[in-house]
Amino acid sequence: MWKRPRWKRLQGVGGISVLTLLLSGCGVTHLASQGAPANAVDEAAPQEALTYRRLPPMAYTPDEWPETLNAQVYLPDTPTRARRPAALIVHGGGWRNRGPEDMQGIAEQLAEQGYVAVNIEHRFAPAHRFPSQLHDLQQAMAWLHDNADAWRVDTQRIVGVGFSSGAHLVSLLAVAGVEGPLADPYGGEESRLAAVLAGGLPSDLLKFDDGRLVVDFIGGTRAEKPEAYRLASPERQVTPDAPPFFIFHGTWDQLVPVDHARDFYQTLIDNDVESELYLLHGRGHFASFLLRGGAIEAGIAFLNQQVTP
């Protein structure tokens, strides 16, 4: 969905203005000051919050799956019986640790906005290597479709939300397409996302030195497995069929340098994919998650625009 880009003027801390810059035909960037209030972006003012109920953790993987994986589901108390959007939420942790509890606050925010929020586990490297984690997400999407009637989910309005390695996985799911090496054998139509909110995204794994995290995830170095690195890099899989993206990133991120966000954003724009880039000035990788503030508010506002009937 193409939208006419706009110039906006935003207010930062102490009256310092933050300028939203137009970079290209269907993209917008934001530069947020460190410590900016959560309501710094005009369009990000939240809707009136809904109440929700959290279901007990449930296994979303088939019985024959190598490892039983659970999902925490949040059901919003929407005022009508109409179908509502859903969000597949994936935690970070370098593909090797952490858990859905890291994303609980974001899941609650999405449920308060009317999304059926599905906050999932996935398998960890190095015991399970790429593309195992992508297959987990594809199974989660199939499971969400299977429960769409019970949870009143509009399966055409499922979005992906993640941070760091979780952002990498939902972004890879979003650009995998319905056929091809990333879609086979568990992807396809049911894996389609309507939009993505990604923070601290490692978009091109070939940019990294052969450090432990990425080598453990892929199962080899760049020289040993160049094709796997290319396939596992969302930026290198972008086509005009990719869904809209909202990307946020800290400008002082040393773990995942900000060029991952800028270059991925530019690749999306070059492919006429509607996108926004929200840069958190003066924040590193972990601070951009812990002090994310207005980035999530603006990101959810972006998702809302994409899934509004």
Q: For residue 15, tell me if it sits in a domain.
A: no
Least confidently predicted of 15-19, 41-45, 59-63, 88-92: 15-19
Specify the number of domains making up the chain. Answer: 1
Tell me how crowded residue 284 is: count the other CB atoms within 10 A of its CB. Answer: 18
CATH number at residue 294: 3.40.50.1820
Q: What is the DSSP string of 201-219?
A: ----GGGS-S-HHHHHHHT
Q: In this predicted model, what pLDDT tens digit does every residue of 149-207 receive, in sequence order?
A: 999 999 999 999 999 999 999 999 999 999 999 999 999 999 999 999 999 999 999 99
**Cα angle, residue 173 at apex, residues 213 and 74 outer, rounded to 5°:** 95
* 3 against 182, higher pLDDT: 182
Q: In this predicted model, what pLDDT tens digit does every residue of 54-65 receive, in sequence order?
A: 999 999 999 999
Predicted local distance difference test score (pLDDT) of residue 48: 72
Max CA distance (Å), the chain: 57
Q: For residue 290, tell me if it sits in a domain.
A: yes
Q: For residue 4, tell me if it sits in a domain.
A: no
**What is the chain's mean pLDDT, rounded?**
88
Tell me how crowded residue 17 is: count the other CB atoms within 10 A of its CB. Answer: 9
Which of 70, 72, 151, 71 lies closest to 114 in space, CA to CA? 151
Q: How confident is the model at residue 42 (pLDDT cuts 50, 70, 90)?
A: very low
Q: CA-CA distances (angstroms) from residue 309 to 99, 157, 196, 224, 305? A: 32, 9, 17, 47, 9
Count CA within 13 A, CB hemisphere, residue 98: 18
Predicted local distance difference test score (pLDDT) of residue 32: 53
Tell me how crowded residue 88 is: count the other CB atoms within 10 A of its CB. Answer: 27
Rounded mean pLDDT, 5-28: 31
What length does the chain have? 309
Omega before 126 cis (within 30°)?
yes
Cα–Cα distance, 309 to 305 (Å, whole number): 9
Q: For residue 10, tell me if it sits in a domain.
A: no
Query: Containing domain of residue 138, as a range?
Result: 20-32+44-307
Rounded mean pLDDT, 257-274: 98
Which of 185, 158, 190 lies closest to 89 in space, CA to CA? 158
Q: How confident is the model at residue 106 (pLDDT cuts 50, 70, 90)?
A: very high
Which of 165, 161, 169, 198 lies closest to 94 in space, CA to CA? 165
Say yes or no to pLDDT of 274 above 60.
Answer: yes
Q: How confident is the model at residue 30 (pLDDT cuts 50, 70, 90)?
A: low
Least confidently predicted of 41-45, 157-161, 254-258: 41-45
* Cβ–Cβ under 8 Å, residues 213 and 248: no
Q: For residue 7, tell me if it sits in a domain.
A: no
Q: For residue 14, tell me if it sits in a domain.
A: no
Q: How confident is the model at residue 31 (pLDDT cuts 50, 70, 90)?
A: low
Q: In this predicted model, what pLDDT tens digit does every residue of 238-255 receive, in sequence order?
A: 999 999 999 999 999 999
Q: CA-CA distances (angstroms) from residue 236 to 27, 116, 266? A: 19, 30, 12
Q: For residue 174, tell me if it sits in a domain.
A: yes
Q: For residue 5, tell me if it sits in a domain.
A: no
